[in-house]
């Protein structure tokens, strides 16, 4: 087998479909040659002399260099794959060069041009040699490159250790690392205050680093596929951890709260696995300091900070990924971690339930305009282990004190305790009575004077009506006029009900009566009766409008209104 490609002629002459002869020369043009000469001369003039060092310079590796190497490795994988899949070997390339009909289907002239490119393409020739060596088994490393697993034996490592530099230093000693000063600290396995159960360890370093890598940190690796990027950040682990955490906490709740029903257990689980609870744990274990992201940490702290609760879920997901179905250690850790909160929830289950009306009830008993219960915050809470404490006070005297996870509920607890303080309630109730009695008596006097004046007005009106009564009673009410026809298109005055009520009351001492019920077509039907007579029936989509339409029907018919309002009193 040929180990290299034989030299070919510098010029190839081909015949086109029209019979014309055309020479294809692979040699660079005179302009290209002059350009290369000029570039070479520039390099000579720019470099005055080569520097001389006392020893070989070490290789420098920084973050940028690492990223470049990572990208180069990915490109190498792809390039080798293309060579192994599409490149001919040297024999195939020779056949390709000698073939008379090499072309792309566009005609003899185009085919000849491609054949000339094949004959004089040194890069293609190099790939053919590479493919040939691979085929005869001399380059098995190419398969390893494509597969991403280049193997190195212990003998290879030992030989590498013996490789010396020009000054006698080993290759490993001639490397320096230029890494930026890192502000990422390691986590606290038993909590910042060393009061938490020890974190189960993630043994796989790569999996561990993935837990603390936010997707923003790797979004710039565009040379990786979306699937490869997914394996670098914690989003999938967070999804898995959320499910595992819910399942394990459910088992813990089922064991710890034997008397709780489904609804109560769901409420407890929602509290235990809430973002607020997980965020607290994340901070105490130092997950927030360990997380790698390009997001502004100050901006995160001003938001809901869910990103740190997600890291806690990702840690649980990584434990599941590493341990498989053997999660007993994880469940035992979670049981210890949630134990203080579970005990607190058990105590709360025996506490008196919140009376949301307690504050209003307390104010109604002892509150007044110039003095009323005030609620003073004694201790800030964190919504988790540290509760809010609120004092209910009057004149700087404490009536009751309450503690809860929210400041609002703590205030309600304080009011509930104040309602049990009979001594203080009695004291301020008597004070309010003594202050309000004169005001209340004055108000009663004003209301009595108004009522007496109204009575005198009514007596005068009655006397005037009596003087105007006829000597003989009027004719009976003509009941054949009723019920009146209802016009659904007639305009409606929504105040007509009140006006009709006042008129009938003044004229007859009676009042209109409305009866409503649902119709078959989803409408409301309203019947209006006065003095026991069915006046009219009206319908509408609204119950209120149906009654107003019935009142409008009577109000608009003066004759019917006069009939139903007849006064049968006489002077005698």
Residue range 383-429, pLDDT digits in tens: 766 889 999 999 889 999 998 888 999 999 999 999 999 999 999 88
152 — pLDDT class (breaks 50, 70, 90) = confident
Q: What is the pLDDT of residue 114?
A: 64
Positive or negative torsion for Cα 321, 322, 323, 324: positive
What gap in Å lies between CA 419 and CA 399, rounded to an integer?
8
Q: Is the pLDDT of residue 301 over 90?
A: no
Cross-strand pairs, 15: 21
Cβ neighbors of 510 (< 8 A, separation 6 or more) are 504, 530, 531
Q: Is the pLDDT of residue 357 over 90?
A: yes
**Full DSSP string of 378-426:** EE---SSSSPEEEEEEETTEEEEEEEESSHHHHHHHHHHHHHH-HHHHH
For the chain, the domains span 62-99+117-150, 205-349, 357-434, 481-565
Average pLDDT over residues 513-522: 87
User: What is the Cα 240 distance to its own chain's centre?
Assistant: 17
Cross-strand pairs, 534: 529
Q: Spell out the CATH class of 205-349.
A: mainly alpha
Q: Which of 216, 222, 179, 214 is nearest to 65 (CA)?
A: 179
What gap in Å lies between CA 188 and CA 208, rounded to an integer?
14
Q: Do domains 205-349 and 481-565 have the same CATH topology?
A: no
322 — pLDDT class (breaks 50, 70, 90) = very high
Residue 147: half-sphere exposure toward Cβ, Cα within 13 Å: 8
Q: Rank 262-276, 345-359, 473-487 by mean pLDDT and report only the highest.
A: 262-276
Question: Which residue, chain included where needed, has tokens 């019979």?
Answer: 19
On average, the pLDDT of the chain sits at 82
**In 3-state terms, what secondary structure has residue 164?**
strand
Residue 474 structure tokens: 């009027």
- DSSP secondary structure letter of residue 458: H
Higher pLDDT, 117 or 148: 148
Q: Do residues 290 and 185 touch, judged by C-beta distance below 8 A?
A: yes
Q: State residue 529 phi and psi, 5-degree precision.
A: -125, 140
Residue 1 structure tokens: 């087998």
CATH number of 357-434: 3.30.160.20
Which secondary structure element, helix H or strand E, spans residue 513, and what is its range? strand 513-518
Higher pLDDT, 264 or 247: 247
pLDDT, one tens digit per residue, over 278-298 is: 999 999 999 998 998 888 877
Among left, alpha and beta (phi > 0; psi -120 to 50; other), residue 429 is alpha
Q: What is the pLDDT of residue 148?
A: 82
In the chain, what percentage of residues exceed pLDDT 90?
37
Q: What is the pLDDT of residue 56?
A: 56
464-471 CB contacts, 8 Å cutoff, 24+ apart: 466/569, 466/571, 467/571, 469/567, 469/569, 469/570, 469/571, 470/570, 470/571, 471/570, 471/571, 471/572
Q: Do residues 218 and 233 touch, judged by C-beta distance below 8 A?
A: yes
- DSSP secondary structure letter of residue 88: -
The matching CATH number, chosen from 3.50.50.60, 3.40.50.720, 3.40.50.1950, 3.30.160.20, for 481-565 is 3.30.160.20
Question: Which residue, chain included where needed, has tokens 């212990």?
Answer: 154
pTM for the whole structure: 0.49
Cβ neighbors of 254 (< 8 A, separation 6 or more) are 265
Residue 507 structure tokens: 């004229």
Residue 217, number of CB atoms within 10 A of its CB = 17
pLDDT, one tens digit per residue, over 198-209 is: 999 999 999 999
pLDDT, one tens digit per residue, over 211-243 is: 999 998 888 777 778 888 888 999 999 999 999
């Amino acid at each position: 087998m040929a180990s290299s490609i034989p030299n070919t002629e510098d010029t190839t002459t081909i015949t086109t479909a029209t019979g014309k002869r055309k020479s294809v020369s692979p040699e660079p043009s005179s302009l290209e040659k002059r350009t290369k000469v000029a570039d070479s001369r520039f390099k000579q003039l720019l470099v005055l002399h080569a520097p001389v060092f006392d020893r070989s310079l070490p290789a420098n590796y920084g973050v940028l260099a690492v990223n470049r190497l990572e990208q180069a490795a990915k490109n190498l994988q792809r390039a080798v794959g293309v060579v192994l899949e599409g490149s001919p070997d040297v024999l195939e390339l020779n056949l390709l060069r000698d073939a008379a009909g090499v072309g792309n289907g566009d005609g003899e002239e185009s085919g000849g041009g491609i054949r000339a490119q094949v004959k004089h393409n040194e890069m293609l020739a190099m790939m053919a040699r590479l493919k040939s060596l691979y085929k005869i088994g001399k380059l098995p490393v190419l398969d390893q490159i494509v597969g991403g697993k280049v193997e190195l034996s212990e003998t290879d490592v030992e030989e590498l250790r013996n490789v010396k530099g020009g000054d006698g230093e080993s290759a490993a000693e001639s490397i320096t690392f230029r890494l930026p000063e890192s502000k990422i600290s390691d986590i606290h396995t038993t909590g910042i205050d060393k009061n938490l159960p020890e974190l189960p360890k993630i043994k796989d370093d790569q999996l561990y680093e993935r837990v603390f890598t936010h997707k923003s940190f790797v979004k710039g690796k565009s040379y990786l596929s979306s699937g490869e990027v997914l394996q670098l950040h914690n989003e999938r682990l967070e999804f898995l951890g959320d499910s595992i955490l819910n399942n394990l906490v459910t088992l813990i709740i089922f064991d710890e709260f034997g008397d709780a029903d489904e609804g109560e257990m769901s409420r407890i689980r929602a509290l235990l696995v809430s973002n607020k609870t997980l965020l607290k744990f994340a901070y105490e274990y130092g997950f927030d300091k360990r997380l790698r992201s390009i997001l502004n940490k100050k901006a995160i702290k001003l938001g809901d900070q869910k990103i740190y609760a997600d890291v806690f879920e990702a840690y649980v997901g990584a434990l599941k990924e590493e341990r498989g179905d053997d999660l007993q250690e994880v469940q035992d850790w979670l049981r210890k971690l949630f134990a203080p909160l579970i005990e607190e929830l058990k105590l709360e289950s025996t506490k008196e339930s919140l009376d949301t009306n307690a504050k209003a009830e307390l104010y109604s008993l002892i509150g007044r305009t110039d003095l009323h219960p005030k609620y003073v915050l004694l201790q800030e809470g964190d919504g988790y282990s540290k509760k809010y404490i609120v004092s209910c006070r009057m004149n700087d005297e404490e009536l009751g004190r309450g503690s809860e996870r929210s400041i609002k509920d703590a205030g309600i607890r304080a009011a509930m305790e104040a309602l049990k303080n009979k001594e203080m309630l009695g004291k301020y109730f008597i004070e309010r009575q003594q202050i309000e009695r004169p005001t209340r008596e004055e108000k009663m006097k004003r209301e009595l004077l108004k009522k007496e004046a109204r009575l005198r007005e009514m007596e005068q009106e009655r006397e005037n009506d009596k003087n105007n009564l006829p000597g003989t009673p009027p004719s009976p009410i003509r009941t054949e006029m009723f019920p009146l026809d209802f016009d659904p298109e007639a305009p409606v005055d929504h105040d007509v009900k009140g006006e009709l009520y006042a008129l009938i009351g003044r004229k007859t001492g009676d009042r209109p009566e409305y009866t409503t019920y649902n119709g078959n077509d989803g409408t409301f039907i309203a019947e209006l009766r006065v003095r026991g007579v069915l006046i009219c029936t009206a319908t509408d989509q609204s119950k209120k409008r149906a009654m107003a339409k019935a009142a409008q029907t009577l109000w608009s018919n003066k004759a019917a209104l006069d009939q139903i309002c007849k006064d049968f009193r006489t002077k005698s």
